[in-house]
């Protein structure tokens, strides 16, 4: 893995970390949802900082280059985050449905 | 003398300005002629046409959902209303004129006699009663869902997507708490069967829709089938 890519990974990982922590401290992102993101940004930093560790996996899994593995890791992280989002949306849909039903019934009683 | 059962007819309606008044009048007429009296409530599922104004103007009992929920959420609102107001039997009845009020008697009588907990109005039991059997493709779909339900619950249900059904009090309580929002008819039937409730089917006749289109459109049917079948196969007891 080239030095430039390593620097890019470390810098963007740290940036993501800073943004996340600021969002949490400004109450814009609940800590519950930020944990997975923080964890992901740490992985990105780790990949940039300790490339030897990652290149072991590269050969083992069968990627041709370490940079491909890095793309694979980030893709996996994104997939998991999207799945979590879908779950959160479904839970919210249930809550919204309940709210619509209850509000509508209250509105009827008022008349 | 046996206590008279309180019966509520739940009519989900989405953009049914052309049909809804006729449907409600048919119930009112039946109440005038018949000994058996039915209360009814229209659940206006966030219609964007004049449905709401028509309901208001004609003093038809109704609940206006403030947003569109889809058939599952709308019917469940009716079950919640039935639960709060202590009804003994709730009948789901389409707002588009497909169902015939004269068959409500047949659907609720097995429940009054405590032969079953849910009674489904089926188009396929008596060949003569129903002119409208829906398209070939739809029938194949209904049959396929029936096979999947049989596989899952070892019980036979013929008209799996029929929206003409009655339930007793124990199921009103259950459905008020939890009712499937997607593909409610086949999914709720399967859930009910898996929890050992008794389900029965009686013959009814259904009319062709007077105006408008059914919510299940042809181009969506494959998508619909995959969803329903997966959904049924994944149901677990106690959910």
Residue B219: per-residue pLDDT: 66
Mean pLDDT of chain B: 87
Domains (range + CATH), chain B: 7-233 (3.90.550.10)
Contact A100 B181 (CB under 8 A): no
Which among B67, B69, B81 has CB closest to A105? B81
Contact A101 B181 (CB under 8 A): no
Task: Residue window 60-99, chain A: list those with CB within 8 Å of chain B.
Answer: 93-94, 96-97
Distance between CA A84 and CA A33 in Å, rounded?
Answer: 9
Percent of chain B at pLDDT exceeding 70: 89
Contact A101 B77 (CB under 8 A): yes
Residue A111: per-residue pLDDT: 61
- The whole-number average pLDDT for the span B193-198 is 93
B42 vs A: CB within 8 A = no
Q: B182: nearest CA in chain A? A: A94
Residue B1: per-residue pLDDT: 42
Residue B28: per-residue pLDDT: 92
Contact A104 B65 (CB under 8 A): yes
Distance between CA B50 and CA B152 in Å, rounded?
Answer: 42
ipTM value greater than 0.85: no
pLDDT digits (tens, 9 = 90+) for B91-145: 999 988 889 899 999 999 999 999 999 999 998 876 655 555 566 777 888 899 9
Say if residue B56 is exposed, middle or buried (CB neighbours under 10 Å; 0-12, 13-18, 19+): middle
Domain ranges, residue A96: 3-110
Residue A36 near residue A24, CB atoms below 8 Å: no
pLDDT digits (tens, 9 = 90+) for B29-68: 999 888 888 999 999 999 999 999 999 999 999 999 999 9
Looking up tokens 């169902």 gives B99
Which among B63, B84, B181 has CB closest to A104? B63
Band of the pLDDT at B208, cuts 50, 70, 90?
Answer: low
A111 vs B: CB within 8 A = no
Residue A8: per-residue pLDDT: 92
Contact A107 B84 (CB under 8 A): no
Q: How far apart are the CA of B121 and the nearest CA of chain A, in angstroms?
A: 26
Q: Which of A53-57, B37-41, B77-81, B225-229 has the highest mean pLDDT?
A: B77-81
Residue A65: per-residue pLDDT: 85
Distance between CA B101 and CA B233 in Å, rounded?
Answer: 34
Residue B99 near residue B204, CB atoms below 8 Å: yes
Looking up tokens 């004129």 gives B97
Which among A93, A96, A104 has CB closest to B77? A104
Band of the pLDDT at B211, cuts 50, 70, 90?
Answer: low
Q: What is the DSSP string of B23-79?
A: HHHHHHHHHHH-SS--EEEEEE-S-SSSHHHHHHHTT--EEE-SS---HHHHHHHHH
Residue B177: per-residue pLDDT: 94
Q: How far apart are the CA of A86 and the nearest CA of chain B, in angstroms?
A: 16
C-alpha torsion sign, points B200, B192, B182, B44: positive
- The whole-number average pLDDT for the span B77-86 is 96
Segments of chain A with pLDDT less than 50 = none
Band of the pLDDT at B224, cuts 50, 70, 90?
Answer: confident
Paired strand residues for B167: B90, B118
Q: How many domains does chain A have?
A: 1
Instruction: Look up residue B92 and give its two tokens.
Output: 């789901």
C-alpha torsion sign, points B87, B45, B187, B143: positive
B65 vs A: CB within 8 A = yes
């Amino acid at each position: 893995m080239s030095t430039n890519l390593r620097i890019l990974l470390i810098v963007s990982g740290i940036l993501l970390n800073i943004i996340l922590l600021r969002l949490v401290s400004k109450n814009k992102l609940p800590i519950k949802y930020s944990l997975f993101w923080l964890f992901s940004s740490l992985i990105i930093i780790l990949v940039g900082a300790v490339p030897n560790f990652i290149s072991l996996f590269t050969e083992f899994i069968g990627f041709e280059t370490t940079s491909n593995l890095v793309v694979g890791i980030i893709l996996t992280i994104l997939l998991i985050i999207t799945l979590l989002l879908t779950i959160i949306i479904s839970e919210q849909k249930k809550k919204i449905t309940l709210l619509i039903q209850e509000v509508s019934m209250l509105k009827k009683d008022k008349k | 003398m046996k206590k008279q059962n309180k019966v509520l007819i739940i009519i989900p309606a989405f953009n049914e300005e052309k049909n809804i008044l006729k449907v409600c009048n048919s119930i009112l007429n039946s109440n005038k002629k018949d000994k058996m009296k039915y209360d009814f409530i229209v659940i206006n599922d966030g219609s964007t046409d004049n449905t709401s104004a028509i309901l208001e103007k004609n003093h038809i009992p109704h609940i206006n959902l403030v947003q569109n929920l889809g058939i599952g959420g709308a019917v469940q609102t009716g079950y919640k209303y039935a639960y709060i107001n202590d009804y003994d039997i709730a009948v789901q009845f389409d707002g588009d004129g497909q169902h015939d009020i004269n068959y409500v008697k047949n659907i609720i009588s097995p429940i009054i006699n405590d032969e079953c907990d849910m009674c489904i109005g089926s188009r396929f039991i008596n060949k003569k009663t129903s002119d409208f059997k829906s398209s070939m493709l739809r029938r194949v779909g209904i049959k396929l869902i029936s096979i999947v339900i049989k596989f899952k619950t070892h019980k036979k249900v013929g008209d799996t997507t029929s929206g003409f059904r009655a339930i007793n009090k124990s199921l009103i309580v259950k459905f008020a708490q939890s009712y499937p929002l997607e593909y409610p008819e086949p999914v709720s039937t399967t859930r009910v069967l898996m929890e050992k409730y008794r389900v029965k089917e009686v013959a009814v006749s259904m009319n062709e829709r007077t105006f408008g289109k059914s919510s299940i459109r042809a181009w969506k049917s494959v998508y619909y089938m995959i969803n329903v079948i997966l959904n049924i196969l994944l149901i677990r007891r106690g959910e």
